[in-house]
Chain A
Amino acid sequence: MINEINEDSSVLTILDKITKDDDPEGEIKMKIALLLKQLDLHLLNRSLKNISLEIRLNPGTVKNDIELLKRFSGKGEQTVLESIEYTSDYEFSNGCRAPPWRQIQGEICYVLVKPHDAETLCITCSKEGVFLNGGKTDDEGEINYERKGEIYKDLVTLLREKSAKFSENMSQQEGRFNEEQQKEKDQPNEAPEEEAAALRKASTASRRSALEKKQISLGRSQMTKRLEPSLNWKTTVDAKENKSSLRDTQEEKHGGRLEKSRPSTSPGRAQLIRKSAEKIEEIISESSSESEEDEEPPDHLQEANADLPSEYWQIQKLVKYLKGGNQTATVIALCSMKDFNLAQETCQLAIRDVGGLEVLINLLETDEVKCKIGSLKILKEISRNPQIRRNIVDLGGLPVMVNILDSPHKSLKCLAAETIANVAKFRRAWRAVRRHGGITKLVALLDCRRPSAEPAQPGLYEARDGEVAHCGALALWSCSKSYANKEAIRRAGGIPLLARLLKTSCEDMLIPVVATLQECASEEKYRAAIKAERIIENLVKNLSSENKQLQEHCATAICQCAEDEETRDLVRLRGGLRPLASLLSNTDNKERLAAVTGAIWKCSISKENVTKFREYKAIEALVGLLTDQPEEVLVNAVGALGECCQEPEGRVTVRKRGGIQPLVDLLVGTNRALLVNVTKAVGACAVEPESMMIIDHLDGVRLLWSLLKNPHPDVKASAAWALCPCIQNAKDAGEMVRSFVGGLELVVNLLKSDNKEVLASVCAAITNIAKDQENLAVITDHGVVPLLSKLANTNNDKLRRHLAEAISRCCMWGRNRVAFGKHKAVAPLVRNLKSNDTNVHRATAQALYQLSEDADNCITMHENGAVKLLLHMVGSPDQDLQEAAAGCISNIRRLALATEKARHT
């Protein structure tokens, strides 16, 4: 409007001028000026139109924002949010998730955000911006679309406003977040966030207007490929990334339960890794529905009609009767269909391809008990096929089955639970079961002690209570692979019920029960509950069962629970170590062997347990497992040996049994978990000089050293830790270290890592390397001093300790003391004295003592209040600390006296 007015007035003035001035040349000039002016305005108008479009949000940008935030959400203090979720899973083809009648208002989607420090926020993302709405009504209900707060320009701004914790953590994450955003933007420029965001929007829109034609054709191709509905290039890229990462996690998962239960070096950390991996999985599944298509092999549809087997036609006919028949005909057709070989893929797919799944699921919604039973009997069988599972979920079969769990007919409950057990093998299904209250209902099935008002004469379609509980446990087993479901099972009071069922002696019942517990034991809360419910003793008891599968699940469950020290003691006290050790002798069943070695590994973290294992000759058996075993077994066996070798007796046994050779041989592997464990075991062996000789002889140190180049930080760290005793105990260690070409440079460069564990381990290695003067000179040349100095500003006590040790060692060369001072290592070291860890105190005091030999450093220390802190430490019971602190103070004091003296003379 304003423009138009301006335009009008300017034209008027120009016309004025023209009428006043009759000069023909001037007239032409004026005309040109007029035309130029018009062109100008035209261009401005156009661009304004574009820009005004751009300021609005679009589904693509909203989606990107939400997905990014998701990636940084979860439990723990470091994340920006506890959770962020869409209210609706369904995404329309235009990228919106709001129902169509709200889309008219420009609303894109609704998200439920749970910040760390506030109630759950229900937020509307619309084209105009982002605002709080009236919230979601409790009972599964509608969203109150009414706007309840200010409009913010985007989600991040809103959340910064609403949650202090979010904005705090956000600024910490900023770097990463920006990085991610940058990556997503595929714009390499370093523009600040907002500008870049604007740019991104602009670029999308300009493409939209300028390349409209192209866009349309692109859109079409996207549609046909069922790709992201968003018009954003990046989202497609992103989706691909997601897909690949998803595939990775999938692979990890499909690698088998074994791999899943494989923890890494430090107990608890594996937990973390696994948990976060799972979280990522969850997130990915929540965000991109289309990438799930990749999880399973793609459908291979029947190719040509000519090749269709006869079953296909027969099944087609039966489905026709199912559709057009009354109850009687339906039951006959169902019974007849059941007679086909439903385990065969042709039949499974035939039922689906002729539209049988829809009918079968529809039947579940009728009142006819017989039809429901017949339908479930078929669904139960064909849902063993992964494609059929997906189809059943796509057709909304799970909510219907979950409803049937309430049925008064026990056999129906059983069948529904069994079918759920088969269907719920992937994330979308787990979520569907949970969202529809299935977990609570399944847990209720476990409760078979309740005296039910049974009629004197049991009905025709009734099952035993035990059978119901069995089916419930089967379904829970399937569902318990997702974190949220584990939590739901716990909240529904599943643990005491499982504990009670565990007391039975029926193997059929025990297997799903133990398996569910085993899945759930990955969660801390479960492990606590398992301890409280005295489940361990029953697990131990069932280790001695005859059933191999049951033994395997029990061992895996013990492995999971033995992260906890008390539990490890319980396993010992309940006599669980002997059956574990004796199961090692049977090496045929690899799954069970992996589970058993896993349990032994975790149990051997307690020293008392190692003593027992030695008694039961488990170490010998474990050494025997170091060759010709699958990786799952190797990882656990080596892990167990690593723990056993922490004791001198264990080391001797391993050496005498010839365990060192196979261990060193395993150093050339590629499996990350295995490498972590092998390096730890080799490191533990190297503590004993005799074993060290063998390791040296086998060139084990060189192998360890080359693992410092491994891409995985935990392998690097573990290798660096293992190198420490090697350097300590090797003969001519200095010479040996020098013989590794480029080895010292490699170690020094690892100080640039950003992994605290790697840094600590490398500092420890450097401490040992620096014991040799010549090597110290070399690493000084490689710039170890500035790198170490840079690390001094840390709050990680482990790193502080080893760093201080490394610094005090490195002070022994040349002008390194001065150099440390120059690189500002002194002040942070003084601050580290305030740590609560005495190890840090000792190491730091020693480092300061070394540094105090230089006058400038003394001044820095004094300025930073070191004297007061050190004085306190002189009174410590730790003699080394006393000495170092006193030495340092005396150096500072001496300097002060000297200055005073100088002043007086």
Chain B
Amino acid sequence: MNRKKLQKLTDSLTKNCKHFNKFEVKCLINLFYNLVGDVTERQGVVVGLDRNAFRNILHMTFGMTDDMIMDRVFRGFDKDNDGCITVSEWVYGLSVFLRGTLEEKMKYCFAVFDLNGDGFISKEEMFHMLKNSLLKQPSEEDPDEGIKDLVEITLRKMDHDHDGKLSFADYEQAVREETLLLEAFGPCLPDPKSQKEFEAQVFKDPNEFNEV
């Protein structure tokens, strides 16, 4: 990609992204193209990270392990649902992922947890997301009993309108009361430590580097 185009891309992305400055956007774009590899852009072919490549990043860089959640995070980044994260999706996604406000993060997390995208997190979805969260105790008759109970506990805590499923309003209210519930059904945001490392690595000031 030529310099001019890159400059233009950086400018347009910077304009639309409130959490990164120009320099940071540039860094992220560079990183994106490093990750994608040297693929020349052609008309009609989307250049981007596919599901596997992205999941790999989530796993290696941000220490995520839950397959389902990682899939959902990919979906969250992949706004146009084409199975491929483009450079703009990458920058926008990361802006929420790394620096989003509580509101943005709530929206993002809710979308991740709403597996079927119907606007509600149902009991089944919760069960699905929590099913690996407890150590299986062989002594127990029904190994799923604990999970079911956990789902009930969560509902009791978060389902304010008592309709047996979580709407965004329910979720938002619960999170505002207790921020810890933002990632109630699994870690879908970077933990502070890996976030710091990532930012430190990516947003290295080239000037600083030169001085050394």
Chain B interface main SS type? helix
What residue of chain B has the Cβ atom nearest to residue A373's Cβ? B180
Let me know if B206 is at the binding interface, CB within 8 A: no
Return chain B residues, CB-CB under 8 Å to A575.
none
* Interface 0/1 of A394-411, CB less than 8 Å to B: 000000000000001100
Let me know if B191 is at the binding interface, CB within 8 A: yes
Question: Which among A327, A332, A373, A374 has the greatest number of chain B C-beta atoms within 10 A?
Answer: A332
Within 443-481 of A, Cβ neighbours of B (below 8 Å) are at 455-457, 459-461
Question: Which among B102, B130, B150 has the greatest number of chain A C-beta atoms within 10 A?
Answer: B150
Q: What's the Cα separation between A331 and B154 when bound, in Å?
A: 10
Is B192 touching A369 in the complex (CB atoms < 8 A)? yes
Is B180 touching A336 in the complex (CB atoms < 8 A)? no
Within 353-402 of A, Cβ neighbours of B (below 8 Å) are at 367-370, 373-374
- Of A329, A335, A455, A459, the contact of B181 (CB 8 Å cutoff): A335
Is B178 touching A329 in the complex (CB atoms < 8 A)? no
Return chain B residues, CB-CB under 8 Å to A900.
none
- Of A317, A368, A408, the contact of B149 (CB 8 Å cutoff): A317
- Of A321, A329, A460, the contact of B105 (CB 8 Å cutoff): A460
* Interface 0/1 of B40-73, CB less than 8 Å to A: 0000000000000000000000000000000000
Is B130 touching A335 in the complex (CB atoms < 8 A)? no
Let me know if B128 is at the binding interface, CB within 8 A: no
Return chain B residues, CB-CB under 8 Å to A368.
191
Do A327 and B150 form a contact, CB below 8 Å, given A367-B193, A460-B182?
Answer: no
Is B181 touching A369 in the complex (CB atoms < 8 A)? no
Is A457 touching B19 in the complex (CB atoms < 8 A)? yes
Q: What's the Cα separation between A329 and B66 when bound, in Å?
A: 14
Question: Which among A329, A369, A373 has the greatest number of chain B C-beta atoms within 10 A?
Answer: A329
Return chain B residues, CB-CB under 8 Å to A367.
193
Is B178 touching A321 in the complex (CB atoms < 8 A)? no
Let me know if B15 is at the binding interface, CB within 8 A: no
Let me know if B204 is at the binding interface, CB within 8 A: no
- Of B101, B132, B150, the contact of A457 (CB 8 Å cutoff): B101
What residue of chain B has the Cβ atom nearest to residue A337's Cβ? B153
- Of A326, A331, A455, A457, the contact of B180 (CB 8 Å cutoff): A331
Within 165-201 of B, Cβ neighbours of A (below 8 Å) are at 178-187, 191-193
Is A328 touching B184 in the complex (CB atoms < 8 A)? yes
Return chain B residues, CB-CB under 8 Å to A339.
157
Do A336 and B153 form a contact, CB below 8 Å, given A331-B183, A370-B183?
Answer: yes
Let me know if B133 is at the binding interface, CB within 8 A: yes
Is A331 touching B153 in the complex (CB atoms < 8 A)? no
What residue of chain A has the Cβ atom nearest to residue B195's Cβ? A459
Q: What's the Cα separation between A328 and B19 when bound, in Å?
A: 28
What residue of chain B has the Cβ atom nearest to residue A329's Cβ? B133
Return chain B residues, CB-CB under 8 Å to A329.
130, 133-134, 150
Let me know if A192 is at the binding interface, CB within 8 A: no
Let me know if A334 is at the binding interface, CB within 8 A: yes
Return chain B residues, CB-CB under 8 Å to A459.
192
Q: What's the Cα separation between A326 and B185 when bound, in Å?
A: 11
Question: Which among A318, A368, A369, A457 has the greatest number of chain B C-beta atoms within 10 A?
Answer: A457
- Count residues of A near B (Cβ-Cβ below 8 Å): 32
Is B153 touching A333 in the complex (CB atoms < 8 A)? yes
Is B133 touching A328 in the complex (CB atoms < 8 A)? yes
Let me know if B137 is at the binding interface, CB within 8 A: yes
Do A328 and B130 form a contact, CB below 8 Å, given A321-B150, A333-B153, A370-B183?
Answer: yes
Return chain A residues, CB-CB under 8 Å to B184.
328, 331-332
Let me know if B135 is at the binding interface, CB within 8 A: yes
- Of A328, A370, A456, A461, the contact of B185 (CB 8 Å cutoff): A328
Return chain A residues, CB-CB under 8 Å to B185.
328
Let me know if A590 is at the binding interface, CB within 8 A: no
- Count residues of B near A (Cβ-Cβ below 8 Å): 32
Let me know if B83 is at the binding interface, CB within 8 A: no
Let me know if A338 is at the binding interface, CB within 8 A: yes
Let me know if A325 is at the binding interface, CB within 8 A: yes
Is A335 touching B180 in the complex (CB atoms < 8 A)? yes
Q: What's the Cα separation between A238 and B202 when bound, in Å?
A: 67
Is A324 touching B156 in the complex (CB atoms < 8 A)? no
Is B134 touching A325 in the complex (CB atoms < 8 A)? yes
Return chain A residues, CB-CB under 8 Å to B193.
367
CB distance from B109 to the nearest CB of A (A): 11
CB distance from A339 to the nearest CB of B (A): 7
Return chain A residues, CB-CB under 8 Å to B135.
324-325
- Of B99, B154, B187, B192, the contact of A409 (CB 8 Å cutoff): B192
Is B186 touching A328 in the complex (CB atoms < 8 A)? yes
CB distance from B63 to the nearest CB of A (A): 10
Q: What's the Cα separation between A318 and B153 when bound, in Å?
A: 9
Is B192 touching A326 in the complex (CB atoms < 8 A)? no
Return chain B residues, CB-CB under 8 Å to A333.
150, 153
Q: What's the Cα separation between A370 and B150 when bound, in Å?
A: 18
* Interface 0/1 of B129-160, CB less than 8 Å to A: 11011110100000000100110011011000
Is B178 touching A335 in the complex (CB atoms < 8 A)? yes
* Interface 0/1 of B64-105, CB less than 8 Å to A: 000000000000000000000000000000000001011001
Return chain B residues, CB-CB under 8 Å to A374.
180
Is A369 touching B134 in the complex (CB atoms < 8 A)? no
Return chain B residues, CB-CB under 8 Å to A317.
149
- Of B102, B154, B191, the contact of A332 (CB 8 Å cutoff): B154
* Interface 0/1 of B18-34, CB less than 8 Å to A: 01000000000000000
Return chain B residues, CB-CB under 8 Å to A455.
99
What residue of chain B has the Cβ atom nearest to residue A370's Cβ? B180
Return chain A residues, CB-CB under 8 Å to B192.
369, 408-409, 459, 461
Q: What's the Cα separation between A317 and B101 when bound, in Å?
A: 34
Is B180 touching A324 in the complex (CB atoms < 8 A)? no
Q: What's the Cα separation between A338 and B157 when bound, in Å?
A: 10
Is A338 touching B186 in the complex (CB atoms < 8 A)? no
Return chain A residues, CB-CB under 8 Å to B153.
318, 332-333, 336
Return chain A residues, CB-CB under 8 Å to B19.
456-457
Q: What's the Cα separation between A368 and B187 when bound, in Å?
A: 11
Return chain B residues, CB-CB under 8 Å to A331.
180-181, 183-184
Contacts A317-B149, A331-B184, A369-B192 aside, 15 further interface pairs with beta carbons under 8 A come to: A318-B153, A324-B134, A328-B133, A328-B183, A328-B185, A329-B133, A331-B180, A331-B181, A331-B183, A335-B180, A367-B193, A408-B192, A456-B19, A457-B101, A460-B182
15 contacts between A and B (CB under 8 A): A321-B150, A325-B133, A326-B132, A326-B134, A328-B129, A328-B130, A331-B180, A333-B153, A336-B156, A373-B180, A374-B180, A455-B99, A456-B99, A457-B101, A460-B182
Q: Sorted from nearest, which 4 A-B pairs have the closest CB atoms?
A: A324-B135, A329-B133, A457-B99, A328-B133
